[in-house]
Structure formats: C-alpha cells, structure tokens
Amino acid sequence: MNTKRLILISLIVLGALALSACSGQAVTNNWHGLAADAERAYLSSGSFIYAVDLKTGSEVWHYPPETDNKLLFFAPPVLTEDGQLLVGSAGTTHSFISIDPASGRENWVETFAKSSTWLASPLVLNGTIYAPNTDGFLYILDVNGKQAADPIELGGALWSAPTTDGTLLYVTSLDHHLHVIDPARGAVLETVNLGGAIPGSSAIGSDGVYVGSFASNVEFVKSDGSHEVVAKAGNWVWGSPVVDGETLYYADLDGKVYSLDLASGRQNWDGLQPDGPVVASLLVAGDQIYVATESGSLFALDREGKIVWEKTVGGKIYTTPVAAGDLILAAPYQAEDIALAAYDIQGKQAWTFIPAK
C-alpha cells in the first residue's frame, strides 16, 4: 500500500465519522482501540466497549448494554489507578465516559457539545485527566469528569495520548508541532515544529522525548524545545517510537522496521521489511519485538532483527498490539469473523473473539 492509499483510507474513515455525526447513525466499520489488565482485554469497536476474558476469549460484558447510535469508539481505553476505565466517544454527543472495568457499569459520563471527536486516549497524572481532542484543545478533568481547569488550546487535531516524564506533558499534533506543557501551571512551555504531521505519541527518553513524524524521521526533543534528528526513515513514521534501554525501535509506511543504538547513533540492522506498511506502533515485550502490518500479519522479531514467527491475523492491522500476561493481542480491522486474536509468545493462537450480533 502506498502513501496516497493510506491517506485515502484515513479520509474514508474520518469521512464516515463525519457522516455519522450528521446522520446520527453509528459507524461500526472503524479501527479498534485496545487495552488490557491482568484478567481482561478491553476492545473499542464501533458503538461498544467489550471486556474479554484473557483465559477463554469470551465476552465478560459490553458497554453500553444496548446499541446507542450516538456513540462511536476509536481510542484505546485507559485504566486508572483508582479503578476506572476511561474512553472518549467520537460520536455525536462527544461523550467522555468512565466505566467500572469489573462490571461494565457506567460510573459517569460528561458530554462536550462544543468539542470535536475523541480519537486519542487520555493521560492520568496525579489525579488529573488530560484528554486531547481533535478540536486542538487539551481538556483537563478531575477523576469525576468535571472540568478541573480551562482547556489548553494547542491547535491542530490531537490524535494521540499525551506522554509524561512525571513532571511535564508532551502532546503531539497533526499540525506538525510537539507541545511541552507544565501541568502544574497549565502553561505551554515550548511549541516545536517538526516539519510533518505527528499522529503518534512521543516516547520518553533521558532528558527529553523521541518523536516520529510525516517528515520521515525521528527527532529527539528536549524540554527546552531544542531538537535534532536522530534517525531517518524511508517514509512517514505513523506509530510511536519505542525506547527499550539503549535501543530505539520504530517503523515506517514502507513497512521497514528499524532498531537504533542510542549510544552510537547507528542502526542495528539494515532494511528489515517483513510485509506491508506499518501504521501501528511496535510492541517490545520480553526478548521479542512485535510488528503488526497493514497486510494483516503479526510478526515476532528477536533482538537481532530475525523473524521468530509470523501469523496471518487477517484484515488490516492499524491498532498497536498489546501484551497481556503471556499473551500478545492483535485487533484487526475489516477481518472476517474476528475482532481480536490472542497468541502466546511462541506464536500459537490461544483464542479469537468476535462480538455477538
């Protein structure tokens, strides 16, 4: 798949979302959001959030109990330390919702009629929820969903979750900018133009963050706004880079997977291109790197860049794989009779899940 085709797919999905907003009809043909804890996977799919038992692949609950055409979920849900499951809806009411992950019951819901869609996951830091919206604002809520401070206007559509080093927030935007924010003051400290749209989150490093963009490179940005290109790619970098010790992993839309030695600045391998464009972020778990491709494949690589195993999940995979205990979870888009698949670390399929009709 070439770059123009991926742009077209993105426009089709977002266009369908816009039609949903105009018509009030739910759109279920969208990419999924995925998260997990020790017992369950949580899948955002169409108008529902599903909780899936990790041992059996069976549905535990779904939210809402009945179809609500005003809801539409894209973002991975976020589990909080105080026992909430948070997710924003891209549907017509622009709802931001808290669910009890044990029962699937709604804790609270807040509507943001004047905002746009929620495509990004929120970040919870020190009891405060930071929720990016495609209207270009970062909303600041307390743990009960009430506005804790005025939203911060950043500009450009915000498609990815903020990251934090424990003190500062880093928020990326499709308008080419990375914003460095002091949450204690609610102030934007730095706004850095990286020369290309940034649909993925930054990755926290030592004294700064690593950011991939449609400028086809990865830059290291310090909290003072100074930045430099540390790695190049052959095409756009859509997913978030991953820092693992002294190694930086990232992938591009040519389907190439890169491993950069941060100490030397040298690539650890050359031209690894398993199969098809890579939109999802890479997953590093244990001794393996997991790569999900637009072609619907899931690869496990070792640290030397060799393919350990490959599985055809089906459809197209735009959602980042998730590690859950001894399982690796993959959520394909437009796959036949499958919304979620679980594999063990040897590549054996443990189960698949498809929502009941």
pLDDT in tens, 272-281: 999 999 999 9
Question: Is there a contact between 230 and 218 (Cβ–Cβ < 8 Å)?
Answer: yes
Residue 27 has pLDDT above 50, yes or no: no
| 261 within some domain | no
pLDDT in tens, 337-353: 899 999 999 999 999 99
| 172 within some domain | no
Domain at 55, CATH number: 2.40.10.480
- pLDDT computed for residue 297 by the predictor: 98
Cβ of 8: how many Cβ atoms within 10 Å?
Answer: 12
41 to 31, 60, 61, 297: CA distances (angstroms): 16, 10, 11, 20
**In this structure, what token pair is assigned to residue 321?**
């794989």
Question: Is there a contact between 203 and 251 (Cβ–Cβ < 8 Å)?
Answer: no
| 227 within some domain | no
What is the domain count for the chain? 1
| 32 within some domain | yes
| 170 within some domain | no
E strand map for 11-84: 33-36, 40-45, 48-53, 59-63, 78-79
104 to 1, 50, 64: CA distances (angstroms): 38, 9, 8
Model confidence at 286, pLDDT cuts 50, 70, 90, reads very high
Share of the chain above pLDDT 70, in %: 92
- pLDDT computed for residue 243 by the predictor: 98
- pLDDT computed for residue 15 by the predictor: 46
Give CA–CA dist 286/323, Å, rounded: 10
- Could you list the residue range(s) of the whole structural domain that residue 22 is in? 1-110
pLDDT in tens, 64-110: 999 999 999 999 999 999 999 999 999 988 999 999 999 999 999 99
What integer is the mean pLDDT of 29-46? 93
| 140 within some domain | no
Share of the chain above pLDDT 90, in %: 87
Mean per-residue pLDDT of the chain: 92
Residue labelled with tokens 């003072």: 224
Give CA–CA dist 226/242, Å, rounded: 20
| 352 within some domain | no
Question: Is there a contact between 316 and 32 (Cβ–Cβ < 8 Å)?
Answer: no
| 95 within some domain | yes
- pLDDT computed for residue 8 by the predictor: 44
